[in-house]
Amino acid sequence: MKLHPYFNCFKRYALYFAVVLLCLAPLTALGYSVNDEATFGKFCRWRMTKDATLYDRQKICDENGMEIGWEFVPIGTIAAGKRISSLAEIDGKYDIFYWNGGQKTAYVDPGTFSRHTKLVTSTSGQTYDVSVTAWGDEAAVREIVGEFYTPAEVDQFIEGMRREMKGMDPITGQPKKEGSSSSSAGSSSGKKKPKATPVPLDKPEIVWKQGEEDIPVDVKTAGVTECVIVLKEKEERVGTAHLFWGYEGEKPLARVYAPRTGKATLYAREGGKGGALKKLDAGEVVLVLEDGEKYTKVYVRQLTGYVLTDALAFENVRTEWEKGSVKSTVNFRLMNEKDSYRMGSLKKGQEVYVLSQSGQWTEIEADGRKGYAMSEFLE
């Protein structure tokens, strides 16, 4: 029996509506009041890793009004660092929830966001991953974990998190010891072995292209617009687009994204091994040498090492910008939001690179860090 075309349309809408309801459940079934972006973010296990286009999905009809397909229409942009709830893949794009004065829904391209979670361990050894922004918030964790565990088990999760926040093992409640293991319990010597000095990997080969000539240089401070290079023991500022460092791909740069601590650790070896080389500042731009799912190999402050991929927001090299200056001391923030992490302040008269301007916020780069400042304080 041939079905009426409208029945097929109804089935499509019904399926889509069911997917949306299923994915809304984590935000609504918990009974947690979501009325501001900070609360919304506690339930979002995903974070935008780059500025991306937002799309709406609209149907295409023929001249008789019959549906013949669907198309994605750009409706705006979403900034790197925004927390989202990923829903489902539909026709090559991802349906997401995000916050913009309220909970909104749209579509984004794959590869523009990544998982952003932290593990909660209960006193009984059970584990569950929650949003990074929820970790440490007992009320939020209780609501999230409570959907899947009994009240008694939830209490064990909360107690385990309390212990870990105090530097204790979440299961045993004993203080964590650097480098300790069960095999060392029977050791006859109570002396700790001295820590080895972390050794960075070799520097990458970086060249500055001037016409037909490739000039080997070292980068002292990276930027999405210009880099400070060292050439024959002298410092010089050159456009980042004219530098090449052996990375083949679309994401040669990144900036540190650490809104909770303001710092990210640069490790000597992949997997967080080999010791910590440096603590990198939020907003600091790094050269990406090799990106990975969990750790990304970077070059920063004349050191080669690894940073957690989730602690980075990938950036593109900018070839167009304007120079500006600060006309009055202003806060320098990681994102274009008043409650975003404050990276410091910019002083009156300081020169900055103006990358874009939207409403009351201007996207800028200053001293090798990329972030945002309120437009009224710039000129």
The domains of the chain, with CATH numbers, are 5-115 (no CATH), 117-175 (no CATH), 206-315 (2.30.30.40), 322-377 (2.30.30.40)
Give me the mean pLDDT over the 162-174 stretch.
89
What is the model's pLDDT at position 191?
Answer: 55
Give me the mean pLDDT over the 265-293 stretch.
91
What is the model's pLDDT at position 195?
Answer: 62
329-360 pLDDT, tens digit per residue, is 999 999 888 888 899 999 999 999 999 988 89
Give me the mean pLDDT over the 369-375 stretch.
93
What is the model's pLDDT at position 272?
Answer: 87
299-322 pLDDT, tens digit per residue, is 999 999 999 988 888 888 888 899
Q: Is the pLDDT of residue 25 over 50?
A: no
Q: pTM for this structure? A: 0.53
**Mean per-residue pLDDT of the chain:** 83
Give the C-alpha separation, 276 to 175, whole Å. Answer: 21
58-74 pLDDT, tens digit per residue, is 989 888 888 888 899 99
Paired residues of 361 in beta bridges: 358, 374
What is the model's pLDDT at position 182?
Answer: 34
